Structure formats: structure tokens, C-alpha cells
Structure 1
């Protein structure tokens, strides 16, 4: 683990950086400064290829860093679903406004039947936003994907999986050489997902939605089983090498998350809570 180092200067074969770790809305401030207040955005570098999972407000900070890289920038953006916390950063992703850059954008069909392009376009229409998506001058290629697809990009393979029927949310498994990273948020906490169990088998890193236990969970879930418990059980059953939890609720302050981290250390010492800016290396 590299801590808060610059992933873009790393020569590792596989590096994961967390640019946003929150759910629902960004919550900057003194009470959340340690873990971070941006909504979910995770970057994976596999040698020279860049993969971005979800475009929450953390995407804006990632974009500022990419703007400092000389020459054209290319990347692949994979969206789990298109609720606000996953797309809030897209209108402020400055590399997408720069001609010469190229981004491939992947997502499933929303619950209303809209494609990923339609969803991202809608949020930038008047009166909700000042400029339309068509203002972006980078080359944008949109790809509609389904659970069970296999997406091959050079020596990297991406496999999407269905996670939540209510939101049509997707999870992803990225494979590069003999390493694999599984990104699974907005999961069903009441029961273990058998397809996810199969996909995460012996994964080097499982990034799981295991901490969203505030008011939203209490309202929408009838289960007394905390999400992190399901995460640990799944990781153990799938023989995952490293489990990290992400997607913190708006009411989960640094103090709350520190208490949860201490509790988890006693139950499963290999499980950790990620912080904004953290980098995990899989050399």
C-alpha cells in the first residue's frame, strides 16, 4: 500500500487509487477530512492503461491531475449506475473538454430504459446545468454493456456483473495478467450474491460496499445484518486476498468510521476502510 502517493508516477503493473469514497452527496469539512468527502471515484492503472470506476465528485480532482500530464490523455470510464453520487463529477471533468483526449464510457441500461449516454447527457441539460455534454471536445465513445459481457482492452479484461435489481447496478472484475480487482458497490446486503462470489474467487483485491449503514440503510433495509458482515463472509468464502470497504454514508464522520475500523480490526484484521487519496499496489 502506498498511502497518499501519486499513482501516475508509479511504475507498478497494477495500482488502485481512491479519488472519492462517499455515497449520496459530497460532505467536505472538518468532520470528514481524514476519510474524505468526495463521492465515489476509483482509478486503476494497468501498465499504461487507465480505468476509472464511477464518476462521483472525486472525478473532478482526478481530472485536475490528468490535465497536468503532457500530451493527449486516454481512459476508460465504467459506471456502476447513474444515481447522483456516481455521475456528479462528470460535468466538471476538465480533460473531457480538451480536444485530442479520448475517453471510452461504459454503462448499463438505467431503470427507465435510458442508455449511459442519455443519462450523462440529461444531467447536463438546462436548467440543471449550464452547458450540454456536446460541449465536451474530447473524443467520447459510449458503450452499452450487460452483465456477463467480456470486455477486452489490450491485456486487460473487464467483466461486468449484475448486483442490484432495484437500481440495475453493475459490479466489475478487472483482470490483468495473474492479478484481479473486483469493484462491487450498491450490493444487496441481505444475502450473498452467488455470481459475485464466483467472480471474486481468489481476487487479489475486493472493493466492497460494506459501510453504508446510516439512515439510508435503516430506511431501505429490513435486515439487522450490517453490510460489512456480509462483505467479510463473502471475502472469506471467495478466498479474497485483500478486502477494503468504501461508499460511506453522509452521516458517517471520521469519528464514526474510526470506531468501525477499530471494531473490524478485532473481528477481521485484514479488512480495512479506504481513505480518499489512498493507493493500493498489486505489483
Structure 2
């Protein structure tokens, strides 16, 4: 795991849909467990796309990689527990905002002594490490139990954007893609296949950010990117291109093979998202909107 500063140790794409962790679909599989931005959205008009906040699982070359720990991480954890074997996984956080880390205290496998987790994140805007941010949200009065009650092996790594994480023959490339939010984008490369996870796009990105994003995602088999909106104001839905235009333009400019738009606004109901998906496909045929349970097999 090169170019990382370890902190203290502590005890071609095909689509399917499922609610359990995929282990036999292929050697490079992406699964969506949480697709909302800002806040979880448990509502009957959000059933088809799902209401959990950000969490994406990637199984590649026999390794478990997890990106972001929103409330979808709880569901992913329940699925991993069904494997009934020791689990080792790598968790990568894009930033330390609540919608990216709020599922971590409910990640059941982290409470099992036989399991081991490697946790990666860059310094937050207040310079706090990912370990500090995860610890803080589990302190009273926010949560009844401290992080120390997790009995699995937890290894924390401070990511320096621009450096790589090497996991045997799997390379995870990092880049700072939103200086304001101190958000990191990731690219997972294995053999000749690649997936990019860039979820803090803005409509008017800084030129430096734009160049780093472009280099990170150029030519990937799959780009996972966010829809754009201006929180915390209500989403007026007056112009659907506000939600998907930046992601589509990036996919086109970077010559990516497939685009999945995630991190849907809490006010975006299923019917509205159906309309957005129609608009996206009319502009970028290999684009679609993420929904919970979506599974994509890379290179098959």
C-alpha cells in the first residue's frame, strides 16, 4: 500500500439487480447499496431507486472494496455477514461529511473479531483525519458506543490525493476533485479494466479540479458520478439538466464507456428520476441512473 501514511492500528459492462453481495457474477463487479445524497430518503415514492445514502461495493480480483459509508453500508454489512466466513475489506471515503460516514457505526461486520478492515480517507477541511471523523460521530451524545467497541481489526490510512494505493495487482488511483469540500475521487484499475468513482462534481468546477477529474476518469469502462444540485435549498425541478449535465459532459469529454449517475437529491422522486434517465439516455446512450441493488459486471 504505497504512498500512504498509516495511522494507529486498532482492535464492457453487464447489468443485473440483487440485494445480496455478488460473488460469482464475474471477477470485477460493482454493486450499489446507497444512491442518495445529503440525507437518507425512506419514502414510498423513492422505492424504485432507493433511499440509502452513498455506498458502492466493488469485488475485484478476489478483494472487497467499499466506497463511502452512508446508510447503504449497513445493508452491505448485513449481506457480508451472510457469507459466514472471516471478512477482509478496504473502505475508501471520498470525504467526511455525514452522508458519507453515517452508516459506519451500523456496519455489523466491524464488530466481529475475526474480520479485518483497511480504512482510507484524506484530511477533512478542518484537518481531521478519517479516523478522527469516524471516532467523533460515535461519541456521546451523538452515539451510545465509541468506535473502540468494534472488535474487528481496523487499520487506518491517511490518503494523500494524487498518490496510489496498491493492493497486489489492483491499483487505486486518487485525486483531489473538489478543493472546497476536500473530496477525493478514486479510480480502480485491474488488468485492462477500470472504474472511476467521482461523486463531488459541481456545475462550475475550478479549472484545476476539472483537469484532475478528467485525468482520473479518462477512458474508464465505468464512471460513477453524481448529479449536481445546490444544497440545502429545495430542488425546484425546473430544469432536469441541472442534475445530469455535468456528469454527461464529463463522460463524453473523457471518452468513458459507461456512465452511472448516483447521489440523487432527497427530493427526487421515482417518477422524476425516470424522466431524468430518459433525458440522460437521449444524450448519452450508455448512461443510466443508479438504483439500490444494481450490479454491473466489468469487462464481460
Query: What is the TM-score with the length of structure 1 in the denominator?
Result: 0.94
Verify: 1:261 aligned to 2:277, yes or no. Answer: yes
Q: Distance in 2 between matches of 1:217 and 1:242?
A: 30
Contact 1:60–1:94 (CA<8 Å) still a contact in 2? yes
Query: What pairs up with 1:186-201 in 2 under 5 angstroms?
Result: 186-191=200-205, 193-201=210-218
How far residue 277 of structure 1 moved from its aligned partner, in angstroms, is: 0.6
Match of 1:229 in 2: 245
How far residue 218 of structure 1 moved from its aligned partner, in angstroms, is: 7.5
Q: Distance in 1 between matches of 2:106 and 2:70?
A: 10
CA, structure 1 residues 217+233, in 2 after alignment: closer, same or farther (shift >3 Å)?
Answer: farther
Match of 2:292 in 1: 276
CA, structure 1 residues 165+33, in 2 after alignment: closer, same or farther (shift >3 Å)?
Answer: same
How far residue 29 of structure 1 moved from its aligned partner, in angstroms, is: 1.8
Query: In structure 2, the residue corresponding to 1:51 is in which secondary structure?
Result: strand
Counterpart of 1:213 (choices 229, 240, 262) is 229
Counterpart of 2:183 (choices 163, 166, 169) is 169
Match of 2:17 in 1: 4
Q: Distance in 1 between matches of 2:21 and 2:108?
A: 19
Verify: 1:54 aligned to 2:68, yes or no. Answer: yes
Contact 1:81–1:167 (CA<8 Å) still a contact in 2? yes
Contact 1:96–1:137 (CA<8 Å) still a contact in 2? yes
Query: In structure 2, the residue corresponding to 1:66 is in which secondary structure?
Result: helix
Query: What pairs up with 1:1-283 in 2 under 5 angstroms?
Result: 1-5=14-18, 6-191=20-205, 193-209=210-226, 211-213=227-229, 216=232, 226-282=242-298, 283=300
Aligned length: 278
Deviates more, 1:258-267 or 1:41-50: 258-267
Contact 2:248–2:280 (CA<8 Å) still a contact in 1? no
Q: Distance in 1 between matches of 2:82 and 2:259?
A: 32
Deviation string 1:233-255 (CA, Å, 9 cap, x unpaired) is 21111110101100011101101
Q: Distance in 1 between matches of 2:23 and 2:148?
A: 32
Deviation string 1:181-208 (CA, Å, 9 cap, x unpaired) is 0000112321471111112111000001
Task: List structure 1 runs of 4+ shifted beyond 4 angstroms.
Answer: none
Query: What is the TM-score with the length of structure 2 in the denominator?
Result: 0.89
How far residue 149 of structure 1 moved from its aligned partner, in angstroms, is: 0.8
Contact 1:163–1:188 (CA<8 Å) still a contact in 2? no
In structure 2, runs of 5+ residues without a counterpart are: 1-13
Q: Distance in 2 between matches of 1:60 and 1:206?
A: 24
In structure 1, runs of 5+ residues without a counterpart are: none
Contact 2:277–2:288 (CA<8 Å) still a contact in 1? yes
Contact 1:205–1:242 (CA<8 Å) still a contact in 2? yes
Deviation string 1:127-179 (CA, Å, 9 cap, x unpaired) is 11000000000000000011111110011000111111111011100001100
